[in-house]
Structure 1
Amino acid sequence: MMRKILILLITVLTSNLIEAQFIKEKSINAQIGYGLSAPNNSIDEIVDDGYFAQGELILKVTSWIEFRPYAGFILTNSNGKDLNNNPTDEKAESKAFLLGGKTRVRAPIPWVAPYVEIGIGTSIGKFETLTAFDNIDKSGIIYHIPFSLGLELGRNNNVDLGFAYYFQPSVEQYAGAFALGITIPLK
């Protein structure tokens, strides 16, 4: 039920924003990257790795502000070792579809434009957090808070290089990625 409501809400908001007079430009951004997940609380230093991919509809309001509805996925698995290559049972795995919306604030500088993003979204999938403090094995829908930092590169700022994080408080972990993206303008 919650999933249907969330999909309906995102569809309505996105269609209203696309038709809105204040949207100056529309583009699509495709990102791929090295996915990571880690527990919020851990004795060992753990970062599980995997894959990340995401697509965004970019709705430019001004040269400084963009709205970005997104859909993507993250897949991370534990290798049974901590960052010091010592064996551990602790892990934070995510296998999830990501859906939500973000706002990007950027410095409109040609060639190198720094940015920061924040928003709200949902993760749909399987999450496992096993530490000395938490033993969570959950499947389904949870909320997440996306936060990103990065640079838009190139004369038209159409190459995106950044760090994307998805804080997932209900499963005591965060997922993220070091990602590279390409922006394609829509006519």
Structure 2
Amino acid sequence: MLFTCFFSSLIQGQTEGKFIKASIGFGSSTSHYEEENPEIIDGFGFYTQGEYIIGIKKWFSVRPYAGLIITSTDEDKIRNPQNYKVETKAFFLGGKVRFCAPIPWVAPFIETGIGASIGSFETYTEYVNEKKSGVVAHIPISFGLAVGRKNNIELGISFYSNLSTEQSFGGFTAGYTFPLD
């Protein structure tokens, strides 16, 4: 942080101003419990998210977001698909903040905040038997790299821990940031 303060005129981590970021990727949902059964009991599918970025400093931004995740369990990999599955079909939104290391061409970042997921969440494992629909609070945590001359291409992992269901979801994503100014 001291380095950032002293050399703020030289940093390129992210730009001040307003932007839109679009991300797409591979979605995943998983139970909060580690299972004794060696079978993979996770859901896999599609993930997309959009963000409105308010760049306050080159190392700090506020990001309202909205997205969609659709995952399902591959029944071919599970011996008894009626008893084991983790699936998510949800629209999610919220707000988060990003702290970005101000490094030219490759800027690592971490984000956190609070949000809500609206949809259906099914978790059937050896220890959990839950199906929930509606609005569920979540805490997002993301990390990754902003790359390129303007740091406008991103590769990252986004994770959303649901507070009242027995599962979490997330995505392995690639994104692009468009300036609005």
CA RMSD, Structure 1 to Structure 2 (Å): 1.5
Q: How does 1:22-101 map to 2 (within 5 A)?
A: 24-43=16-35, 44=37, 45-80=40-75, 85-88=77-80, 89-101=83-95
**Letter in structure 1 aligned against 2:22:** A
Deviation at 1:128, TM superposition (A): 0.3
SS of the aligned residue for 2:155 comes to: strand
Tell me how far apart the structure 2 counterparts of residues 142 and 86 of structure 1 sit (CA, whole Å): 28
SS for the counterpart of 1:171 is: coil
Q: Which amino acid aligns with 2:53?
A: I
Q: In the alignment, which of 155, 175, 185 is matched to residue 169 of structure 2?
A: 175
Of 108, 113, 126, the match for 1:132 = 126
Shift of 1:168: 0.8
Query: Which amino acid is 1:91 matched to?
Result: K
Residue 59 of structure 1 aligns to which amino acid in structure 2? Answer: I
Tell me if structure 2 keeps the 8 A contact 1:38–1:91. no
Gaps of 5+ in 1: 1-22
Q: Which residue of 2 aligns with 1:163?
A: 157
Larger relative contact order (CA 8 Å, sep ≥ 6): 2
Partner of 2:57, secondary structure, is: coil
TM (norm. structure 1) is 0.83
**Post-superposition shift, 1:141?**
0.3
Residue 109 (structure 1) shift? 1.1
- Note if contact 1:42-1:131 (Cα within 8 Å) is conserved in structure 2: no
Structure 2 length as normaliser, TM-score? Answer: 0.85
AA of the residue aligned to 1:34? F
Identical positions, percent:
47
Q: Which has the larger strand fraction?
A: 2
The residue identity in structure 2 corresponding to 1:108 is P
In structure 2, runs of 5+ residues without a counterpart are 1-14
- Contact 2:159/2:168, CA 8 A, preserved across alignment: yes
Displacement, 1:41? Answer: 1.1
- What code does the residue aligned with 1:174 have? S
Q: Distance in 1 between matches of 2:128 and 2:163?
A: 12
